[in-house]
Amino acid sequence: MIALLRGAFVEVPDSPARRLGAGLFETVRWDGREARHWARHAARLSASLAALELRAEPLPGPDEAARLARRVGLQGRTGRINILCPFDDLDAPAAPLLLAAPYDPPPPGPVDLAVFPGAHASFLGRHKTMSHMPYLLARRHAARQGRFDALLADPDGLVVETATCSLVFADHDGLLAPAHPFALPGTALALAAQVLPMRRRPVLLDDLPAFRHAYVCNSLLGMRAVARIGDIVYEPDEAAAGRADAVIL
């Protein structure tokens, strides 16, 4: 396929995966020695393949991830490893691809969140698809306000997650995670729930001022206390975040 790039004609493979973001992916933390919780990430990717009636060739294992990480110079330093399953033909098995790159976590301490004004309303939210524009726009919205990330809500004002993290809140009954059918089943959230008992229930944007604490978590970051969501100020609880980090990172 001939395309025009910066005034020059170039040959580009005709690929729905490239043109349309047709694919699934996972992001795994490399801690300098190993790919953390590889089996959990592979299981979530496999579950998404099954749910969307897609197929892939056998997924690579943690040893292959380690070989790649060492090859690109990540031995002894933190990085991220992506498993990509791009689909040029939705009826043919994808050939999984591994990518690795350095990852420098943000400075320690609580983070601030913006609230993204666009409604988040897609069943694909339960899966990590390569059609990632809505999340990138939400992160840009947050960055323009000097915030770490953006909270996503559906058209009815129900909290889903952030653009990159699962959410956790604390009220007088303890910890709770928003329950929403469009939320990604968070790997880090499931690990945090092993050491921090939490319940699940729907959470409205209108409920946010009633919570004492808030947190975000993902596989690269671990769990962080949240200081602000929009104009709402929370008391940072870094002790709970530290207990979750012990199993996530």
Domain with residue 90: its CATH number is 3.30.470.10
How many domains are there within the chain?
A: 2
Q: Do 217 and 117 share a structural domain? A: yes
pLDDT digits (tens, 9 = 90+) for 27-52: 999 999 999 999 999 999 999 999 99
**Containing structural domain, residue 76:** 15-102
Same domain (yes/no): 115, 96: no
DSSP 118: S
Helix (H) or strand (E) holding 65: helix 62-71
Side-chain-side CA neighbours of 111 within 13 Å: the count stands at 25
189-219 pLDDT, tens digit each: 999 999 999 999 999 999 999 999 999 999 9
Judge if 120 and 232 occupy the same domain. yes
Task: Identify the CATH number of the domain in which residue 242 sits.
Answer: 3.20.10.10
pTM comes to 0.94
Task: Specify if 4 maps to a domain.
Answer: no
> What pLDDT does 9 receive?
82
pLDDT band at 12 (very low <50, low <70, confident <90, very high): confident
- Does 180 lie in the same domain as 124? yes
Residue 79 lies in a domain: yes
Q: Are 78 and 141 in a shared domain?
A: no
Pairing, β 222-229 against β 232-233: antiparallel
Please name which of 63, 64, 28 lies closest in space to residue 45, comparing C-alpha atoms. Answer: 28
- Residue 7 covered by a domain: no
